[in-house]
């Protein structure tokens, strides 16, 4: 009997074959995919990750908003405003010619120079992922470029430093570079406060490297605002009057510094030549802040220190007289002359008429040691410590290196100082004997009328270098009379008590190896009112051209005009001046006696 077994499987045989075939195919496909994944994720992971990042991401540094700089009254001197920056990042599969053509289309919008285009082309040809085309352009120009929708051309919002008052106080403010780093002035000195902290943006792109969104991965921290001791109005007055003097005398350079003597706060610091920090950096000549970065032999303005040494350290009697009729004196083989031949002069008259002969005779009586110690007490040869970069210390030789002719330091030779050092020395007499550190930064806004007058608040960082009775006597008996009847008459303002000292220094000619008879530095330093000083000021004009070169002729009138306008601005009424002084002043010539 034959046994017949029937196939009772619900799946037909041909279907089972198909299932087996499909299973084998899926298994093989799975093996292929697995192998490929191993290749991509293990063997080539590093390489492919780099390619993906390069194709899809650009990490860009974001500059923070720089702090605003205000004057003492809250007027803006420097601020940061939004600006657009244009950069290039290549699009995948875009030809080099197309990329270059896209850049050329921007030439008329950005006013690109040939040298700039060449630099951009070099970067593109090197296949760099990121190339700046033009930074910190007006926002409206950036919007026009964005609307062009050029492949590879992108717009990034940044900030641009703006100085709304142009060249006003340029040397105090300084300037910044394209990345908003301070390079000069308070922009450099207080860069860490003003700058803030940088952020980062991630620009994500698709496979064709076309931008689709920007993500900020690190926020910026804006910089701090700061207030300066400058008063914009006073700064403008100083710059305008200095400009008039430059036009008249055509000097190499000039500077005016105005301070509040009791606090050391700088109210104005003007320089010629100047520059507009909106177009930083300037020329090398214009860059120098000569108020603190240029040293010169100051001449007779330092006789104020010699007078202090004679009165206090040297024990010279005010009743002494000095024979100056010869007109010159020989000192260590060097002839020292007066600007005009004089007579027998009393101690005060020697300084009022600025007799070099008389001062040298007094210096010989004082002695080198006393003279040296007084100048050291006034800190000549040391920086004032003002919060501005690049300050020079000046030159004041140690006593052991003095020669016989070194006594000429008493009349402002064989010593070199900055204009600020001379002003600080004059402020000693304005404050009753205190040497005060100058400064340009305030902790908070402080209008000038709020300045507490000397004696009503402790002086910060001040040292007593001269007794108050001596300082007061020198002001009343010498420095006030310099303006009333001496070499500084052209600084006189009717109705006000003033104190000051002229200076006219011959410049040393390195080619002749001698002092020039035609090149001078003219200066005047003083304060007003003499009995209760509100402002002090120094004016220095280098190599004035023309008929006049004396400090009393060149610098004193500049002092007068600035001081007169500042006093009006501060609503300071005239003081009562004795008829004797007015008569004495009116009887003298307009040119007066000049030093």
Active centre residues (catalytic): 300
Distance CA 542, CA 555 (A): 10
Distance CA 125, CA 100 (A): 9
- Whose CA is closest to 471, among 305, 322, 352? 305
Cβ burial of 42 (10 Å; 0-12, 13-18, 19+) is exposed
Number of other CB atoms surrounding residue 356 within 10 Å: 27
Chain-centroid distance, C-alpha 214: 38
Structure tokens that stand for 195 in this block: 């700058």
590-593 own/partner pairs: CB under 8 Å, 24+ apart = 590/490, 591/490, 591/552, 591/553, 592/487, 592/488, 592/489, 592/490, 592/552, 593/340, 593/353, 593/486, 593/487, 593/489, 593/552
Distance CA 340, CA 324 (A): 10
Assess contact for 311 and 421: CB atoms under 8 A. Answer: no
Structure tokens that stand for 279 in this block: 């177009």
Structure tokens that stand for 446 in this block: 């402080």
In DSSP notation, 386-432 reads -SSTT----B---GGG--GGGGGGGGT-S-BB-HHHHHHHHHHHHTT
Distance CA 92, CA 345 (A): 90
Number of other CB atoms surrounding residue 140 within 10 Å: 8
Structure tokens that stand for 595 in this block: 């030093």
Cβ burial of 458 (10 Å; 0-12, 13-18, 19+) is exposed
First-to-last C-alpha distance (Å) of the chain: 153
Distance CA 144, CA 124 (A): 23
């Amino acid at each position: 009997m034959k046994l017949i077994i029937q196939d009772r499987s619900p799946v037909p045989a041909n279907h089972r074959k198909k299932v087996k075939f499909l299973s084998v195919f899926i298994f093989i496909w799975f093996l292929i995919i697995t192998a490929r994944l191993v290749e991509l994720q293990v063997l080539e992971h590093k390489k492919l990750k780099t390619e993906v990042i390069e194709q899809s991401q650009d990490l860009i540094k974001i500059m923070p908003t720089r702090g605003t700089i205000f004057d003492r009254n809250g007027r803006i001197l420097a601020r940061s405003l939004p600006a657009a920056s244009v950069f290039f990042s290549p699009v995948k599969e875009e030809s080099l010619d197309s990329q270059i053509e896209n850049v050329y289309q921007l030439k008329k919008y950005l006013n690109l120079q040939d040298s700039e285009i060449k630099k951009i082309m070099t970067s593109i040809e090197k296949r760099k992922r990121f190339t700046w085309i033009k930074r910190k352009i007006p926002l409206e120009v950036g919007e026009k470029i964005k609307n062009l929708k050029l492949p590879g051309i992108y717009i990034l919002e940044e900030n641009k430093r703006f100085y709304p008052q142009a060249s006003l106080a340029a040397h105090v403010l300084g300037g910044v570079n394209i990345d908003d780093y301070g390079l000069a002035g308070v922009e450099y000195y207080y860069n860490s406060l003003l700058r803030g902290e940088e952020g980062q943006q991630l620009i994500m792109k698709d496979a064709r490297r076309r931008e689709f969104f920007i993500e900020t991965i690190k926020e910026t921290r804006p910089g701090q605002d700061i207030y300066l001791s400058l008063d914009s109005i006073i700064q403008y007055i100083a710059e305008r009057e200095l400009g008039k003097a430059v036009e008249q005398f055509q000097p190499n350079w000039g500077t005016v510094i105005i301070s509040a003597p009791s606090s050391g706060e700088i109210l104005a610091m003007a320089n010629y030549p100047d520059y507009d920090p909106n177009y930083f950096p300037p020329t090398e000549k214009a860059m120098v802040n000569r108020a603190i970065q240029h040293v010169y032999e100051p001449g007779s303005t330092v006789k104020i220190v010699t007078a202090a040494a004679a009165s206090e350290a040297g024990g010279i009697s005010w009743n002494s007289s000095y024979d100056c009729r010869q007109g010159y004196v020989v000192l260590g083989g060097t002839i020292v002359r007066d600007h005009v031949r004089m007579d027998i002069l009393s101690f005060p008259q020697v300084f009022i008429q600025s007799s070099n002969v008389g001062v040298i005779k007094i210096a010989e009586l004082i002695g080198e040691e006393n003279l040296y110690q007084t100048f050291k007490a006034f800190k000549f040869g040391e920086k004032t410590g003002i919060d501005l970069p690049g300050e020079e210390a000046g030159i004041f030789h140690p006593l052991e290196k003095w020669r016989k002719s070194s006594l000429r330091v008493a009349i402002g030779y064989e010593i070199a100082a900055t204009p600020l050092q001379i002003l600080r020395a004059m402020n000693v007499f304005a404050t009753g004997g205190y040497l005060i550190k100058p400064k340009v930064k305030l902790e908070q806004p402080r209008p000038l009328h709020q300045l507490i007058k000397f004696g009503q608040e402790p002086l910060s960082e001040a040292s007593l270098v001269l007794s108050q009775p001596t300082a007061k006597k020198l002001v009343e008996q010498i420095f006030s009379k310099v303006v009333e009847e001496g070499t500084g008459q052209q600084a006189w303002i009717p109705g006000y008590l003033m104190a000051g000292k002229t200076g006219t220094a011959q410049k040393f000619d390195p080619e002749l190896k001698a002092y020039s008879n035609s090149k001078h530095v003219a200066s005047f330093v003083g304060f007003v009112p003499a009995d209760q000083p509100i402002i002090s000021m120094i004016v220095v004009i280098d190599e004035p051209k023309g008929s006049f070169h004396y400090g009393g002729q060149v610098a004193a009138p500049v002092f007068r005009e600035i001081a007169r306008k500042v006093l009006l601005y501060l609503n300071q009424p005239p003081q009562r001046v004795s008829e004797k002084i007015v008569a004495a002043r009116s009887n003298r010539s307009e040119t007066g006696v000049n030093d």
